[in-house]
Structures are given as structure tokens and as C-alpha cells.
Chain A
Amino acid sequence: MSQVEANAAQGRGAVSISGSAAGRDQPQTTRTRRTTFYGTLFRNELLTTFRRWRTIALLAVLAAVPILIGIAIKIETSDGGGVGPGGGGGGGPAFISQITNNGLFLVFTALAATLPFFLPMAIGVVAGDAIAGEANAGTLRYLLVAPAGRTRLLLTKYATTMTFCLVATLVVAVSALTVGAVLFPLGDLTTISGTQISFADGLGRALLIALVVAASLTGVAALGLFVSTLTTSGIAAMATTVGLLITIQILDQIPQLHALQPYFFSHYWLSFADLMRDPVYWDELVKNLGLQALYAAVFGSAAWARFTTKDISS
């Protein structure tokens, strides 16, 4: 506030005064320019994204999923019965029956439950809105005449979407760990292969799994960003991305398409469970990460080619 008042006192001359000050600072500006070229816009982009009401709402929904799973299991097992089959995602049952023995398994269950839909949907919303939302609001033209630079803006948007992938995954993991610790006992755990590992080791694997899950979303993020460069309607871009996501998930279930399925971005998603084997079974994990890199490269390039040549007339 005091800064504003100080400048109000300076009155009309203020702009030119600060202008000449900027002129004096020129050599230092050049020195720090390399680091600030991407830094300032990226920091501002993160701040802007995470101050959106929509972003907060998505994260709140993601945080609620482990709470609901935890409470459901607690209620179901409080009368002494075991956990029935059918809960959680495809990788779920292996973990879900262990939750009552060890709260840490809620982390794996929650990630397995949110990875097929909730997480990629949240990413689709953020990525789809990235460029199209700015175009829709008209703010894109002012960012570009600032000039943000088209490549720089696109990279910043992608980096922000990836950061959101990581934050969203960590929100699920941390929420699950907290609920797990409150409702269930914690301790050493049994891997899928039947061996025992310490709780600390298990925690390390949980973190690794969260990172792999976040990395699994980079393909959807690139796809969403590409869709976002195609339209000037944020809603259309979000809907298209989420629609593609659901379509791919359905096609991945149709046996006749098994020749194509290894190229669906979601095909190896649940391979993260292999990190809970002893020794870790890397084959599908590597395939998954390779596939995500391929999607990021293909749709990242397509987004770049489109966005750097596009007429901005909104």
C-alpha cells in the first residue's frame, strides 16, 4: 500500500522516472536475463493457475477421493467382515484387501482409483484451458504483444500443466497417507511378491509410485495442450480432451483392438503396481514412460507448429 501512495505522490512523472531507473539497471538486467527469461513468466503462470477457483476445486475433489475410500473401507470392515472384491481400479484389489492391516496401502489404492479417470480429467481441464481459455478471454493477445513469445508461452503452459500433474498426484497421495494413518495401523508391509519390506522402504516406494503416476499423465497433458491450440473456446477444448480420454479408455477394453492398444496413452498406466513387486518388474513401467515421452513429443510438436503459425483474432 505504501508503495502505491509513494507513487501517487510522485504523480505523473512516475513512469518516466522508473523508466530511467530501468535504463541505469540495464547491465544487471542482461546478466540475469537468461534465468528470468522463462522464470518470471513461469512463476506468474503457476500463481495464476493455482489461484483459479477451478484449480482449487479440482484439487479438492482429488483430495476427497482417498477420504471416501478410507471411510468406506473402515465402515465395511468395522463389523469384522473382510473387504469384498470389486473396489478400486484394476490394480486395486491386490492393495485394497491390505488397507485394514496397513494404512500405507490406501496410497496405492487411491492412486489406482484416480488414475483411470479423476486425475487425467483434471489434467485435461487444465491443459485444455491453457491456450484456448486465454484466447477466449482475449488475454492471449495481450500476452503475445507483451511480448510473451509464442514458443515461450507454450513451453510455460506445458511446464505449468506438468507441475499441476505432479501437484494433483501428490494431493491424492498425501490425502491418502493422512487418512490411512488416521484410520488404520501403519507398519512393515508385504509386497505383491510376498516379501516383507520396512515401512520406510514402503514410504519410498509410495513416493516413487506418485512420481510415476504423475509422469503417466504427461501424454494427456500434451494432447490437451494441442487440442487447446485448435480452438478459441476453453470449454470446447476441455470437453474434447476429456472426451478423447474416455474414448481411449473404452477402446482399451475392446479385445478386437488389441493390436492398437499398446499405443493408447492409458494402456500401461496401471503398471505402476509393478513397483510393489520384489524385485521390481520394470518392463511395462519403461514402456509406459516411453509411450508418454512419445505422446509428449508428437503432440508437443503439433501444438508448437499450430500455435506459432496461428492467427490470433480473438
Chain B
Amino acid sequence: MDQAPATEPDPHPEGEGDNATEGDNATEGDNATEGDGVIHTRALTKRFRGGQLAVDGLDLTVPAGSVFGFLGPNGSGKTTTIRMLMGLIEPTSGSARVLGHPMPRAARTVLPQVGALIEGPALYGFLSGRDNLLRYDAADPTADPRTRRTRVAAALDRVGLAAAAGKKAKAYSLGMKQRLGLAAALLQPRRLLVLDEPTNGLDPQGMREIRSLVRELASDGTTVFLSSHLLDEIEQVCTHAAVMAQGRLLTQGPVADLAAGARGRLVVTTPDTGDAARVLKEQGASDVVITEDRVTAEPPDRELADVNATLVAAGVRVRGFGIERASLEDAFVALTGEGFDVAG
């Protein structure tokens, strides 16, 4: 479903316009190439030296301004994809464009506009939280040294660490480290935020804060690319999502479409479960399951009001009757399977 943008012929063949934009800041004129999305990969593939195929022919398009959820079981290649997008590892084949520029070639142009949290935070334990951020900011040649302290203080404040800014990072808790990592991604106004499991280790307040932060950034026009295992979280904040398994892209598109893809289930609440199940089967419902006082089934292809009327006519005392909408989690499990074991 909805892979149309990726399968259309690429109107921007590789190399076009690259030389003109290599040197300095990305000019707004490049927005033309961003019609394809803030992130656009074509047949992106990474085979590690051990022979492990971590990402396999990935065609991903992240629309500008979206909050894009990047899902997949453990080891499905999400972090590897993010590392390729950030120019940390070289793709084995295929190409990736970020903000309209080829990566990793245009890293110097692209990365100052991108904030990233990759596979958890990494900090200098012997430096304070504030000094950690000062160091990361000093590493960015486009960051203005005169506004550095103000920007660092603002970023610390934004993730709720202002009071712990002077504490050594090795004394931080897991959630505090995660917050500091997020602060590093927010040191400058960014056009794209890439967050690999940003709520890992956060307390409920922290998670809510991050969600509202993501929404707020998105409303300012920042595109957010977010990988997470918390599917209700994705459902709450993301406008779009993609699902990966074993290095391959299973699907991508608006979240509403993905969840709608998995059909909802008919739920009847009744004390007469045996009769209800029998009647539902007669009415054409399949996969009927009885749990305590609930009977669930794949809804039949007919008017549900009639189904209910038939139930009542058959003497089934109906307490509740309705369709339970499929969650993103149902869609995810339907796509990636129930199996718990990580693919080798």
C-alpha cells in the first residue's frame, strides 16, 4: 500500500545539482529536490562484513513536516538505516538523500540542520551535563560560539535538566542521560530530528514531555523521524509510519491507513456466550473466540444491525455489541508475525 512515491520514476537522477550545493549551506532552492521527501532512499542496502544483510533494498520516503514512525522488531535494521542516513556507515549499495542532498557525501551541509539521537545517548561521564552539550556544540562548525552558552542552557531547560546541568554525567540516571541526549539534538533549530527510541528509560512524565515536545517541534515545521517499540506512542504522535522486518520494508504510509489495513473485530458482551458464538457462526462470522463473557469474531460481510437483531431474536442477552477498532499494534503484529524470537 501507499508506496507510490517510492516506485515512481525518480525525477532527480543521482548527482544532479549536487556539486552546486556541496560547499556551503543548503540553499532554499534545494527544496525542489525535497519534493521526494525530507528523507528519500532508493534500494538502500547494507551488508556487514560478516555477511549479515542488515538492510535490504530499502525504498523509504519521509514527507516534509511529518512525524514519521519507524517500526520493526529487534534486529530488523532500523538503527542501521539511521546510521546510513547520518553518514556514519557507508551503504553497500543504493542511495540515500537527506534534506535533498546525497548522504554521506553532503554530510557537512546536511547534518547541521539535523538533530539526532542514535541508539541511546553517549556522554562524557567526567564532564557535567552542561559541558557535554558545550562539547557537542563546539563540534559543529556552523554553531555560533557567542550564542553557545545561551543555546545550551535553553536546550537543558527544554528537556527539564536545568537543575541538574552542573552534575557530572556519570552521576545521571538512565532517563537523565536520555534527556541530555535529546538536549544535544535540540542545540540548534533543526529541520529534521532523527530519534532512535527517544523515550527509552524515561519516566511517564518524561514520555509525555517528549511526546508534547515532538508535537510542538512538528507544529514548528520540523520533520521528526522516530523509531520506537512503543506502538501506542507511535499511534499517538505519528502522522506516518513504516514497518521493517529482517531488513526489508513491509509497508509505509499514513498511520490511519496502516491501522485501517488490519480489520477490526466484532465484540459481543453477553452472559450467554455459547449461544452467541453459535448464532455468530450461523451469521457468517469466522474465527469466533470466547473469553469469559465476551465473544469476539471476524465480522461477517453484512449489516451488523441485522446480526445484532438475530442474536436478540435467538434469545441471547446482549450487554454490548460493537466493532473494536484495530490498533497499530494489531497491524504491526499482523505484518511482522507473532513470533518472539529475533531473526538471525
- List residues of chain A with CB under 8 Å of any chain B CB: 3-4, 6-8, 10-12, 14-19, 21-22, 25, 29, 33, 36-37, 40-41, 43-44, 48, 51-53, 137-139, 141-149, 152-153, 309, 311-313
Contact = CB atoms under 8 A, between A and B. Distances in A.
A313 B157 contact: no
A15 B216 contact: no
Given A146-B139, A152-B141, A311 B157 contact: no
A156 B238 CA distance: 40
Interface stretch (B86-94, B303-311, B317-325, B334-342): B86-94
A7 B112 contact: no
12 contacts: A4-B165, A14-B150, A14-B153, A15-B154, A18-B150, A43-B138, A48-B135, A52-B126, A141-B122, A147-B87, A147-B140, A313-B88
Contacts of A137: 122-124
A10 B154 CA distance: 8
Contact of B158 (A12, A36, A37, A153): A12
Interface stretch (B181-189, B239-247, B259-267, B277-285): B181-189
B122 A4 contact: no
A37 B141 contact: yes
Contact of A51 (B116, B118, B126, B149): B126
Smallest CB-CB A-B distances: 4 pairs? A138-B122, A19-B189, A14-B154, A146-B139
B127 interface: yes
B155 to A, nearest CB: 7
Contacts of B126: 51-53
B174 interface: no
B147 to A, nearest CB: 5
A22 B147 CA distance: 7
Contact of A3 (B83, B150, B155, B186): B150
Contacts, number: 140
Contact of B118 (A11, A12, A36, A145): A145
Interface of B: 48, 83, 86-90, 107-108, 111-112, 114, 116, 118-120, 122-124, 126-127, 134-147, 149-151, 153-158, 162, 165, 181, 184, 186, 188-189, 216, 220
Contacts of B153: 3-4, 6-7, 14
A16 B151 CA distance: 10
A312 B107 CA distance: 14
A313 B83 contact: yes
Max chain B Cβ within 10 angstroms of own Cβ: one of A18, A53, A145:
A145
Contacts of B189: 15-16, 19, 22
Chain A binding surface, main DSSP class: helix
Contacts of A139: 122-124
Nearest to B115: A145
Contact of A22 (B116, B118, B144): B144
A296 B48 CA distance: 32
Given A10-B157, A141-B83, A147-B112, 17 more contacts: A14-B158, A15-B154, A15-B155, A17-B154, A18-B147, A18-B154, A19-B189, A25-B144, A36-B141, A52-B126, A141-B86, A141-B88, A142-B181, A147-B107, A311-B90, A312-B88, A313-B83
A309 B90 contact: yes
A142 B184 contact: yes
Contacts of A10: 154, 157
B118 A141 contact: yes
A187 B98 CA distance: 68
Contact of A311 (B89, B120, B136, B151): B89
Contact of B151 (A18, A37, A148, A149): A18
B88 A33 contact: no
A56 B112 CA distance: 34
Contacts of A21: 147
Contacts of B120: 138
A25 B147 contact: yes
Nearest to B86: A145
Contacts of A148: 139-141
B157 A14 contact: yes
Nearest to B155: A15
Contacts of A25: 144, 146-147
